[in-house]
Amino acid sequence: MATQETVPDAYDDLLEQYERATYIGDASQVLSWDQEVMMPEGGTPARSKQTSALSGARHDVLTSDAFAEALETAEAADLPDREQAVVREIRREYDRAAKVPKSLVERISEETSNALPIWKEAKADDDWSAFAPQVETLLELKREYAEHIDPDADPYAVLFADYEPWLDLSVAERVLERLRDELVPLIDELNDVQTDLADPFDGTYPEDDQFALATSTLEYLGYPDEHGRLDTAPHPFSTGTQFDARVTTRFDESDPVGAMGSTIHEFGHATYTLGLPKEEYGTPLGQHRGLSVHESQSRLWENHVGRSRPFIEGHVDQVNDHLGSSVSAQNLYEAANRIYPNNCIRVEADELTYHMHIILRFEIERALLAGELDVVDVPQVWNEKMEEYLGVTPETDAEGCLQDIHWAHGSFGYFPTYSLGSVMAAQLYDAARADIDDIDARLRAGEFEPLHDWLTENVHRHGRRYKTNELVRRATGDDFTADAFIAYADEKFRSLYGI
């Protein structure tokens, strides 16, 4: 065992090496952002080599003999709880990285970079067959990756753990099953109600006006210009660090409500990233807990704030000013919350049917990875499940199986975190409401700092110090559960639809 005198040096040495790996990974993220937002179309051959080289360099740092030695020495030391959590997180990352050959890491990075323009073109051309070979290649690589990490485990469970490391896949399965069991009857009941809820935006709204509204909305919520920027992308996303957290959105001239929702969603991601402790940049304590927690922040701001009556009452004048519209707060609230199962696009889905989109993707991904579904048959199975779960069949693959960017990224196992995050958001928001005096009045007045401060104190500032369930329990007093979301959905939508 290392002597007490060597403990600080060993721990500091471990952190120094880990920070280097983090910086390389963050540089790769900037290149990926550039590829999706600004890079010329012809830049892919070089960009794929660049991101592959960075992935290999990061892997070299994490799997070197010096890194392993520093990790073992730090583990042997009698460290305080905080430092033990850091070492725990680094150990988990090292164990997974050390089992995967560098050549495979580089190949996955290169193929995902190459896949992006292929996906964009296939979507534009409504041609799944043009993208299918790339999906098949990425599936093979990801199966190989999962087998290296744990040859005896369900490959989907191994991949899911890349995005949610501390909640077992069985937890995700139980949550998805409960959402299906509880929400489908509620959705059916709402659909049977004769209602005059309608979308008051029946014209077209230029992208420039919508971009101005998105910029104004971000400013209203407190998004700092000096630490971020807004751009457009084929699929909205957020990326960055606690010093530079960027957001993207997209626009449909006939649906300004959708663009506003996606912008607020990405703001939620960015505000989590910016809330991570700056002094811990590069260490596990300066990194997000996982994508379930990350999605809880985006879904909380999108749904519990952005779709709430108080927020809309305070924001409706800005909406009308930028769009040249004259909708009432009530009309905007109804438009933001109405249920429409016949929508094919996940990112435009309402708050309830959204989860049917996730279940569909989850089932298809599991079947693909298990070899129970051929890639060529994805469009047919996708459309059958859309009809089964939502009563609608996409007219094109562009609004069906080609709509999401995730498979171009090789992100198999990602989708369940969206529903886990939605469920977690309701639990966290309940706790915030209990702690913040008259939160509705504050939201109506555009005073978001109390909620932002609560989330920073209870979620953001901890980074990866706590495992997922412990983080939720510390913030809310209870273990992670879907109870709050089910109660919230039932009360909100029965009230809105008058049943």
Give catalytic residue positions.
266
- Nearest CA among 309, 332, 221 for reference residue 230: 221
Tell me the three state secondary structure of residue 246: strand
Q: Please, which contacts does 247-250 make with residues 24 or more away whose CB atoms are closer than 8 Å?
A: 247/218, 247/223, 248/36, 248/37, 249/214
Strand, helix or coil for residue 151: coil
DSSP 247: E
Cα end-to-end span (Å), the chain: 66
Calculate the CA 222 to chain-centre distance.
20
DSSP 4-18: GGGHHHHHHHHHHHH
Q: Report the Cα 446 to chain-centroid distance in Å.
A: 25
C-alpha separations of 44 from 38, 40, 320, 406, 408 in Å: 12, 8, 41, 18, 13
Closest to 132 (Cα-Cα) out of 399, 378, 366? 378
| Helix 449-458 vs helix 416-435: crossing angle, to nearest 10 | 110
> Quick one: tokens of 454?
């609560």
If residue 249 lies in a helix (H) or strand (E), which one and from where to where? strand 244-249
In 3D space, the residue among 353, 296, 319, 284 whose CA is nearest the CA of residue 493 turns out to be: 353
Nearest Cα to 89, choosing from 299, 280, 298, 294?
Answer: 280
**What's the token pair of residue 52?**
């592959």
Tell me if 276 sits within 8 A of 463, measured CB to CB.
yes
- Asked if 77 and 7 touch (Cβ cutoff 8 Å), the reply is yes
